[in-house]
Structure 1
Amino acid sequence: MERIGILLISVFLFLGGSLGAQTGGISGYVTCSDSSPCREAVIMLEYSGFYTDPDDKGFFSLANIPCGNYKLVAFAYGYQTYMQPVRIDSSVQMIQIHLTALGKQFDPVIVQGERIRSLGISRKENVDGANLYAGKKTEVVQLADIQANLSTNNARQVFGKITGLTIWESDVAGLQLGVGGRGLSPNRTANFNTRQNGYDISADALGYPEAYYTPPMEALERIEVLRGAASLQYGTQFGGMLNFVTKRGPSDKRFEVNSRQTLGSYGYFGSFNSFGGTLDSGRFNHYSYIQYKRGNSWRENSGFEAVTGSVKLNWQISKKWQHQVEFTGMNYLAQQAGGLTDAAFKEDPRQSFRCRNWFQVNWNLAAWQVQYRPDSVNLIEMRVFGLLAERSSLGNLERINRIDLGGNRNLIQGKFANIGQELRWLRTFTWLGKPQFNLLGYRIYSGHSKARQGDGNAGSGADFYFLHPDDLENSDYRFANTNLALFWEQVLQLGTRLTVSPGVRAEYIRTAASGYYKLRVLDAAGNLVVDEKIQDARDRERSFVIAGIGGQYKLNSKVEVYANISQNYRAINYTDLRISNPGFRVDSNLRDEHGFTADLGIRGEKAGLFIYELTGFYLKYNGRIGQVLRAGEAPLYLDYRFRTNVADSRTYGVEAMGEINLFRLLKKRSLRFQDLNLFVNMAFTDARYLAPEQKAIDQKEVEMVPGMLIRSGLRYRWKSFRSSLNYSYTATHFSDATNSEWTSSAIEGRIPAYAVLDFSTGWKKGKWSVDLSVNNVLNTKYFTRRADSYPGPGIIPAEARALYLTLGLQIGK
């Protein structure tokens, strides 16, 4: 804690030294075409964080602006955007702004055709609100600009332009997202700090960082991905940050209703309905949605039903204060067909040997976010968030090469309750004649969870209750996690080309566990001969400081080079310690992981024409937690997967993404309303264990790391018609650290290379729209994972070819 105190003092001294920086101001009037005050306008200094609204007379004022060169921007709905370079000195300048109305003679189609075309992928600005992104690798998917099967959350299409992602495919409807980057496990996206609108959505950010909830893609505006350097602002994890940003109500309508109804293969039905708009002269924005979907997979015993809903309300109370509250709830029930052995998969991947396995999730999220701008150089953002959730799995966990002979099923139940608060203070100051940015923030988080495992009934229905709730057959635990963090980061503009961004994060973590587990031994006849209850209690505290630095250098206005290096830390998941599973065991002496990540890249773009990025990365993992194959006890010596601190590891690779609008290259007037975009996304990765003392593991490939990923696609757009064809290739890789080729239980083994083709097309006319999607066009038979537990165990076949038709209706006023 002493180091944290020193950090606090240093940061405040640094901030205090910036208070005397030289500043100036700018004032004036903004008028509309008829020379009346334009009260709806927004006036801002581009990329600076300074903005304001005019009063009833059209007067505006920006004060305490660091001296330097800026671009003044003013805009209002229905008017052309005004831009003018300005230089701020120690005086207050007066400027008159006149906004010109968009001419009525312009056809809306022509305006659409002549606008700058989005390529569907973009990057974050150096400063966005109270968030700093300079010198980091950032990727933003704009959902409105991609043609994809959004009803089923098709991750291959949605994340097609995000580099280096391994995607698990476990269900037809996209109920759970599984993505991992740069050699990290995709299991429920646990290696990312997963957020919605800036706040946590996972079960427990420390003890169980798995996200059983995935927002409906139909409700999203964009998806933001920030890589390993995110450890300073968003937590210490290796994977980075993944943020789902939901839509807002339209700013030009009091209400708008969107309804999308989808029918698909295998009895799929999806209904998405949203309601949003803006009231009170633009100060109150509301958006809510509800999504319902049901159906079956192409395999037997795989029906599902899911309901997700959300309400988001945003008040611009004054020019200084903005509040946002939201609530999200999700509930789904899914039957799980279980896994397959390698032989069964080759014979018929559609078959199922488990008809009694079920999975149920109830997820509830709430958040309150406040933005306060006391003046033009300070911005404070605060968010309070909480979660109440439960997940239950019921069924037969025995190895899949054993027939389900009935009997009591195993029930695993997890309940989660957590609350957290984050605060960020961004201050702008002047140094070297340039605006600079200081960010100081803290995070307080408390998570509580219950993990219980015991016998359920011997039936085949979705009956989630324990037979002996007061004396469970396996385990009963309570977990408590506390996290206090202080972080500081800065963006320094050293001239017109070079930007440097150093940062520090201090962490305090306390993890505690209390409960019991049972040691149960059966004889050869299946009779219980040992039934011993063992009490268990653990409590561990640690504090540490991690640091990082990034930078970027502009070669010209369109191309920049960036680099960063950042330390990482990942606490163990106590909730994994006492799950009883015949094919899977966990080391009771697991240790936290630590290491660092580094990026070096070049990126460039020309708006609407092309965008590209090439990145080399290195990830060092000390005490990496992984899975090794071990032989069981006599007399059967059945193999099982053992989760432990396998060894240190290193991962390096190259990621490349490029997209170009081929029609715009031709510069033909006849093609000005059409786009033909080609993108290619590739990643080459080498991940190895470094364990000279363990010959069976040393230099073996890290599990779940394909050596090559390729995703490519074509998108055609003409007016309101568009189509896309996406290709995805994943190279062969292993499921455990010993690189087992094959085992009888199918829990370990090689995952063969696979390639998948997806097609989607859509057309909109007025208030109506229609979309058609074909997933897995070539009907490829493949699998992305070997599960050690639910939804297996064993090989989980991916979905076969499936067709989906969506009819949409949009009305508003």
Structure 2
Amino acid sequence: MKNNLTIIVITLLSFTGALSQNATIKGKIKQTDNITAMSGVSIYLDKTNIGSTSNSTGNYIIKNVPKGQYTLVASAIGYHTIKKEIYIKENEVININFSMVEAVSSLSEVVIMTGGVTGIKGIMGSVHYITPKEIQKFSYTDVNRILRAVPGVNIQEEDGFGLRVNIGLRGTGVERSSKITVMEDGVLMAPAAYAAPAAYYFPTIGRMQAIEILKGSSQIKYGPHTTGGAINLISTQIPNEFSGRINLFTGSFGGKNLHAFVGNSYKNFAYIVETFQYSSNGFKKLDGGGNTGFDKKDYLAKFRINTDDDAKVYQSLTFKIGRSNEVSNETYLGLTQEDFNANPYRRYAASQKDQMNTKHSQFSLTHVANISKHFNISTTAYYSKFYRNWFKLTKVKDNTGTKTSINSLLDNPLGFEDAFAILTGSTSTYEDALFVKANNRSYYAKGVQT
């Protein structure tokens, strides 16, 4: 019995001693300005399950760390991952702080207007930067929902899904975002930015990493329509190490969202391949039944070759290729005031064949030369092509052979009772009563900027 008690006491003392030998790691996470605290940063020991997350004041603490050699990692969406080699001694309390650098602030491959959260502090005028963390938090596919909280941004809803974007800045007109400059990675994205900026295309917000908004006429250097300002959408950047993600969401009205990418960086080569696909059955109710939604698929790839990081003059060449296709069962046909008051989500049967088809392709080649720490030259050659064809109802022919425009029918349905009955599907005995127009357009843009 005495021997058994002795063994138990020795075991307990050994266990207590082992616990007391575990160390603690703590510290504070800030942005590069050394002022702004960062919450939600993941701090962990690589190749272990030991870690923590910074709190609202930027502080973190990791307890019960066994002695040994570790790699301490700080990681946050939209910021460069930081790794520090550390050695932990028994019973040690070690303090390690991190200064997180925004990934967008060092993207020499794209034109960055703000330099991220820390960069906007040095810019004159009204500037707003939407971080990757803010974008990922809600996983919005509708840019209107993202921008509505930004002061000075005017938005007019159109289709309910953000496919047809109408944005104005500081009081400018909102129609098809034609009074502002829209860019992706610093390259003009309107199908014909100088001739026809209002042409039914806006980059897919779901695959963007961050958004920059500069308001006011001082942004004239960014494009042809900057009376109100400029919006630069920053696409998902090539990761510094192998990484990937697959997000799949489903929602109301048969909505489905898929976002997937994979990428890696080697010594002299890097890549990323990405797709964003989303669709819905639509929320409007077509008389007689039918799909009133859309299906949009977006594909993008980037490939980069570069010199060694320690080269006297670092240079890189990045090729970007993208393609997006959209099929949306959208119509120009509205409702009479009486029918709208009864059910604003109704669609008349005559609009069942209305459909928009769009195709957008983009290509760019960017060369970067970092001459010094404070001076680099970035040159981009780009080409984009946009095609759309909108099949839409324009006229209705009644039993007398009279053709009436849909605008006239909705303005005065009682004056064209026979044609209006055909429009609503109440009468369908006449052949060739509905006239559908193929409203097709094709645009391309090309240029070189440096």
Name the TM-score class by shorter chain.
0.5 to 0.7
2:142 is aligned, of 129, 153, 158, to 153
Q: Deviations over 1:126-155 (max 9, x none)?
A: 9999x9973232211013235654253252
Partner in structure 1 of residue 329 of structure 2: 335
What's the C-alpha RMSD, in Å, of the aligned pairs? 3.8
Equivalent of 1:307 in 297, 314, 333: 297
State whether structure 2 residue 262 is matched by structure 1 residue 275. Answer: yes
The question of 1:263 aligning with 2:290 is answered no
Matched residue type, 1:164: G
Q: SS of the residue aligned with 1:343?
A: helix
Shift of 1:329: 0.7
Report Cα offsets for 1:613-671 as digits up to 9, x if no partner. Answer: xxxxxxxxxxxxxxxxxxxxxxxxxxxxxxxxxxxxxxxxxxxxxxxxxxxxxxxxxxx
Pair 1:114–1:363, CA change in 2 (3 A): same
Q: Deviations over 1:704-732 (max 9, x none)?
A: xxxxxxxxxxxxxxxxxxxxxxxxxxxxx
**Residues in 2 aligned to 1:114 and 1:133: alpha-carbon distance in whole angstroms:** 22
Q: How does 1:378-393 map to 2 (within 5 A)?
A: 378-393=375-390
Find the residue that maps to 1:188 and give its secondary structure.
helix
Structure 1 residue 323: deviation in Å?
A: 1.8
Checking the alignment, whether the CA contact within 8 Å between 2:262 and 2:273 is kept in structure 1 is: yes
Cα distance in structure 2, aligned partners of 1:133 and 1:416: 37
Report the equivalent of 1:316: 306
The whole-number CA distance in structure 2 between the counterparts of 1:348 and 1:138 is 41
What TM-score, normalized to structure 2? 0.62
Deviations, residues 303-333 of structure 1 (Å, cap 9, x unaligned) = 2111111012233324421222111111111
- Matched residue SS, 1:409: strand
Q: Distance in 1 between matches of 2:255 and 2:341?
A: 26
Partner residue of 1:124?
Answer: 114
Unaligned runs of 5+ in 2: 1-31, 35-70, 75-82, 90-94, 103-112, 287-291, 395-405, 414-419, 424-432
Q: Which has the higher helix share?
A: 2
Question: Is the aligned partner of 1:235 residue 2:235?
Answer: no
**Number of the residue aligned with 1:167:** 155
List aligned pairs for 1:136-151, cutoff 5 A: 136-146=125-135, 148-151=137-140
Q: Tell me the CA shift for residue 285 of structure 1.
A: 2.9
**Structure 1 residue 414: deviation in Å?**
0.6
State the number of aligned residues: 318
Q: Distance in 2 between matches of 1:45 and 1:383?
A: 30
Conserved? CA contact 1:151–1:216, under 8 Å: no
Q: Deviations over 1:372-393 (max 9, x none)?
A: 1234554211111111110111
CA distance in 1 between partners of 2:256 and 2:279 (Å): 6
Q: How does 1:108-123 map to 2 (within 5 A)?
A: none
SS of 1:288 mapped into structure 2: strand
Matched, 1:409 2:398: no
Query: CA-to-partner distance for each residue in 1:410-449, whole Å, 9 max, x for gaps?
Result: 22111112211111xxxxxxxxxxxxxxxxxxxxxxxxxx
Are the counterparts in 1 of residues 248 and 258 from structure 2 also a CA contact under 8 Å? Answer: yes
Q: How far apart in 1 are the matches of 2:132 and 2:116?
A: 22
Superposition TM-score, scaled by structure 1 size: 0.36
* Cα distance in 2 for residues equivalent to 1:278 and 1:422: 26
Deviation at 1:165, TM superposition (A): 1.4
Change (3 A) 1:412 1:385: same
Q: Give the 3 Å change call, closer, same or farther, for CA 170–149 of structure 1 in structure 2.
A: farther
Letter in 1 for 2:318: Q
> Following superposition of structure 1 onto structure 2, how do residues 240-259 of structure 1 map, counting pairs within 5 Å?
240-251=229-240, 253-254=241-242, 256-259=243-246
Residue 345 (structure 2) pairs with residue 350 (structure 1): yes
Superposed displacement of residue 357, structure 1: 1.6
Encode CA deviations 1:6-40: one digit per residue, 9 max, x unaligned: xxxxxxxxxxxxxxxxxxxxxxxxxxxxxxxxxxx
Deviation at 1:212, TM superposition (A): 3.4
| 45 and 359 in structure 1: CA distance in 2 versus 1, 3 angstrom threshold | closer
Q: Distance in 2 between matches of 1:262 and 1:112?
A: 38
Code of the aligned partner of 1:315: I
Distance 1:259 1:344, change over 3 A: same
Identity %: 16
* Alignment match, 1:446: none
Structure 1 residues 384 and 356, CA gap change in structure 2 (3 angstroms): same
Query: What residue ranges of structure 1 are gaps of 5+ in the alignment?
Result: 1-43, 47-76, 81-98, 106-110, 424-813
Change (3 A) 1:340 1:164: farther
Give the distance between the partners of 1:171 and 1:199, measured in 2 at CA. 26
Q: Does 1:294 align with 2:279?
A: yes
Distance in 2 separating the partners of 1:291 and 1:117: 27
Three-state SS of the structure 2 residue aligned to 1:344 is: helix
SS at match of 2:231: strand
State the partner residue of 1:70. none
SS in structure 2 at match of 1:332? strand
Measure, in 1, the Cα distance between the counterparts of 2:124 and 2:253: 47
1:321–1:372 CA contact under 8 A, matched in 2: yes
Q: How does 1:213-232 map to 2 (within 5 A)?
A: 213-228=201-216, 229-232=218-221
Counterpart CA distance in 1 for 2:316 and 2:252 is 45
1:250–1:380 CA distance, 2 compared to 1 (3 A): closer
Q: 414, 418, 421: which is aligned to 2:445?
A: 418
CA distance in 1 between partners of 2:303 and 2:118 (Å):
21
> What is the letter of the counterpart of residue 345 of structure 2?
R
Q: What is the distance in 2 between the residues matched to 1:378 and 1:419?
A: 26
Q: CA deviation at 1:294?
A: 2.2
Work out the CA distance in 2 between the residues paired with 1:352 and 1:144.
Answer: 38
Secondary structure of the residue that 1:408 maps to in structure 2?
A: strand
- 1:304 to 1:201, Cα distance in 2 relative to 1, 3 A: same
SS at match of 2:345: coil
Q: How many Å separate the matches in 1 of 2:353 and 2:270?
A: 46
Q: 1:417 to 1:154 in 2, by over 3 A?
A: closer
Local SS of the residue matching 1:170: coil
Bigger relative contact order, structure 1 or 2 (CA pairs below 8 A, ≥6 apart): 1
Distance 2:73 2:281 in 1: 50
Report SS of the residue matched to 2:206.
helix
Checking the alignment, whether the CA contact within 8 Å between 2:369 and 2:378 is kept in structure 1 is: yes
CA distance in 2, matches of 1:336, 1:270: 19
What is the one-letter code of the residue matched to 2:132? L
Cα 1:233–1:295, aligned 2, differ >3 Å: closer, same or farther? Answer: closer
